[in-house]
Amino acid sequence: MVPAPGSAPAPAPARTFDARAVRAQFPILREPREQPLFYLDSAATSQKPDAVLQAMDRYYSTCNANIHRGVYAIAEQATAAYEDARRRVAAFVGAGSPREIIFTRNSTEAINLVAYAWARSTLRAGDAIVLTEMEHHSNLVPWHMLAEEWNARGTAIELRFIPITPQGELDLSVLPALLADGRVKLVSVVHVSNVLGTINPVVEIARQAHAAGARVLIDASQSVPHLPIEVRELGADFVAFTGHKMLGPTGIGVLWARREILEAMPPFMGGGEMIREVKLSGSKWNELPWKFEAGTMPIAEAIGLGAAVDYLTALGMDAVFAHDRELTAYALPRLAAIPGVRLMGPALERRAGVVAFTLEGVHPHDVATVLDRDGVAVRAGHHCAMPLHEKLGVPASARASFHCYSVPEDVDALVRGLHRTRHVFGS
Amino acid sequence: MSEWDELFRENILDHYRNPRNRGVLEHPDLTYEDANPLCGDRIRMDFKISDGRIEEVRFSGHGCSISQASASMLCEEIEGKPLDEVKKLSREDVLEMLGIELGPVRLKCALLALKTLKAGVYGLPQWPGEEDA
Ligand SMILES: Cc1ncc(COP(=O)(O)O)c(C=O)c1O
């Protein structure tokens, strides 16, 4: 077992798997292609195994019906499959109850749900929210929008930021000062940075935040797919994650929150299914979790996410983490040995399977374009984290990231491609 | 090196490393700056215009090789040309100047200079090739 994420490094895993056998279960990696594919962009979105594609296909071809409504057999089957997916996700992240699992479109919608339904009904003028300098835009913009809206009507709230060190880690020495005046009502932090791979000490952050009377939101978009997570051990109040980065389909994400908080919150969106009783004069809300699931939900996608969670459980999240770590350990020295390559991010012990870098004299977009000629797929740009790049003093970076199907050959192709890039650019 | 690599070196890198018309004008008749928010490429163009001609043009900015090389090529192409002729330049013309095949994302890098030119001089702010979209 890997210890609670955010604390000590992992010991040797009890279980391992053969990434080559895993690849055989992913059609996009298995089927012959005109050009080989070295997929190194799993932090943007992961590939999907047969089990996920088949589960979604099975729903559409055997029991496609709307859920929670029909009294006929296939509607009941569809409802059972959808709610079963919720139970699997709840078990996967250690939720206290499936009622604490709210399906959303993605992490972004989960964070916006908190910003609209919780924050707008809870915050008062003069309150503050603590974020960090390494957030993805999806954990910045909803709070910018809230702050602008509230400031415009004269109920100012303040956004404060935990700074990052040049190594790309949070500088927690300032956190006590940020929390000291008791005005902070929410601390919202990314668990694993999508740019640097930094695993943040969220347990410690949550402890301090709670002691100061603040709620804690963890953006677990990059951690739930790669580390063993028990939401209740993180000490958070809200946890957001997204299906498509964890071998599941796009269009489905999750907000987990402690039940009593969800009970006390007003709904987010209004519409069908989220109500118990509607009169022309008003409505009564449905119970959890449906209070937060307005309208027809992405049923096939939820079922696909359920299958993804089963797949990951069978691999073992401790083994997935160890696999990513092993590949990262393989990649770091090989990339560092290429003249002109500058690696970003913390030491191996504090990072997940993400490696961002720059190549001297070559713009990251040019790096990615030359690599693409060899079928090496990496991300280039600011990775939806412009403030982070600004802080680190690089306008953009290239990023390689792994998942359970990644193999050393992918890294080797990247290294070859970077040598070729240097050659093309004559650097 | 592959054929693409060679073409890239000959066409793009030459302009990227030795840009023509790079710089700023002291007293331009017109200055316009545009950016590609997707990748942060940024180009500013200064123009001196008289008798319906682009007398002088300089570009500055930063970004990937394709955005900067296409700006250099475009400036070289339009300096001294009549405005009505320059107005006809299309995205196909720019791609021809670049002479290598590009995916849709990099196309924006390639077209940023032409977009800046068209928005600045002719008040046409759309991406070249997407005017009707
Ligand atoms: C750290 C982090 N937060 C949030 C998101 C947003 O995920 P989504 O686009 O699925 O809402 C991402 C993914 O890009 C991410 O890496």
The tokens describing A306, both together, are 């359920």
Q: Are residues A182 and A202 in the same domain?
A: yes
**Facing residue for A424 by CB, picked from B1, B64, B109:** B1
Distance CA B41, CA A317 (A): 39
- For the ranges A211-215, A323-327, B117-121, the lowest mean pLDDT is seen at B117-121
| The predicted structure's pLDDT at residue A14 | 57
Q: Are residues A70 and A138 in the same domain?
A: yes
Is A8 a member of any domain? no
Could you say which of A298, A313, A328 is where a domain stops? A313
Query: A312: distance to nearest CA of chain B, Å?
Result: 33
List of chain A residues whose C-beta atoms are within 8 Å of the C-beta of residue B7? none
Distance CA A212, CA A215 (A): 9
Give the CATH number for residue A371: 3.90.1150.10
| The predicted structure's pLDDT at residue A4 | 43
Helix (H) or strand (E) segment spanning residue B4:
helix B3-7
Q: Are residues A309 and A320 in the same domain?
A: no
CA of A136 to the centre of ligand 1 (A): 7
CA of A150 to the centre of ligand 1 (A): 25
The pLDDT of residue A7 is above 80: no
Could you say which of A175, A190, A214, A384 is catalytic?
A: A384
Q: Are residues A351 and A362 in the same domain?
A: yes
Q: What is the ipTM of this complex?
A: 0.85
Query: B94: distance to nearest CA of chain A, Å?
Result: 18
Is A2 a member of any domain? no
Angle at CA of residue A66, ends A64 and A72, nearest 5°: 80
B13 touches chain A (CB under 8 A): yes
Q: Are residues A201 and A293 in the same domain?
A: yes
**A397 in ligand 1 pocket by Cβ < 6 Å?**
no
Counting the structural domains of chain A, the total is 2
What is the assigned CATH class of domain B3-121? alpha beta
Is A239 a member of any domain? yes
Q: Are residues A224 and A332 in the same domain?
A: no
| The predicted structure's pLDDT at residue B1 | 66
| The predicted structure's pLDDT at residue A1 | 37
Helix (H) or strand (E) segment spanning residue A218:
strand A215-219
Whether residue A395 and residue B40 make contact (CB cut-off 8 A), yes or no, is yes
pLDDT 10s digits, A86-135: 999 999 999 999 999 999 999 999 999 999 999 999 999 999 999 999 99
Q: Are residues A95 and A188 in the same domain?
A: yes
pLDDT 10s digits, B2-48: 888 888 888 899 999 999 999 999 999 999 999 987 777 899 999 99
**A221 in ligand 1 pocket by Cβ < 6 Å?**
yes
Q: Are residues A292 and A215 in the same domain?
A: yes
Whether residue A366 and residue B1 make contact (CB cut-off 8 A), yes or no, is no
pLDDT 10s digits, A227-252: 999 999 999 999 999 999 999 999 99
Is A7 a member of any domain? no
Q: Are residues A29 and A89 in the same domain?
A: no
Could you say which of A256, A280, A313 is where a domain stops? A313
A345: left (phi over 0), alpha (psi -120 to 50) or beta: left
List of chain A residues whose C-beta atoms are within 8 Å of the C-beta of residue B70? none
Average pLDDT over chain A, rounded to an integer: 94
**A107 in ligand 1 pocket by Cβ < 6 Å?**
yes
Is A126 a member of any domain? yes
A382 touches chain B (CB under 8 A): yes
Q: Which domain holds residue A130?
A: 53-313
The pLDDT of residue B104 is above 60: yes
| The predicted structure's pLDDT at residue A5 | 42
Give the CATH number for residue A183: 3.40.640.10
What pTM does this model have? Answer: 0.92
**A198 in ligand 1 pocket by Cβ < 6 Å?**
no
Query: A414: distance to nearest CA of chain B, Å?
Result: 16
| The predicted structure's pLDDT at residue A80 | 97
| The predicted structure's pLDDT at residue A382 | 82
CA of A122 to the centre of ligand 1 (A): 25
Q: Are residues A148 and A218 in the same domain?
A: yes
List of chain B residues whose C-beta atoms are within 8 Å of the C-beta of residue A395? 40, 62
Across the range A176-203, mean pLDDT stands at 98
Judge whether A63 counts as a catalytic residue.
no
Q: Report, in this order, helix, strand and coil percent for chain A, each rounded to 5.
A: 45, 15, 40
| The predicted structure's pLDDT at residue B125 | 86
Nearest to A58 by CA among A90, A26, A82: A82
Is A1 a member of any domain? no
- pLDDT higher at A29 or B130: A29
Across the range B105-112, mean pLDDT stands at 89
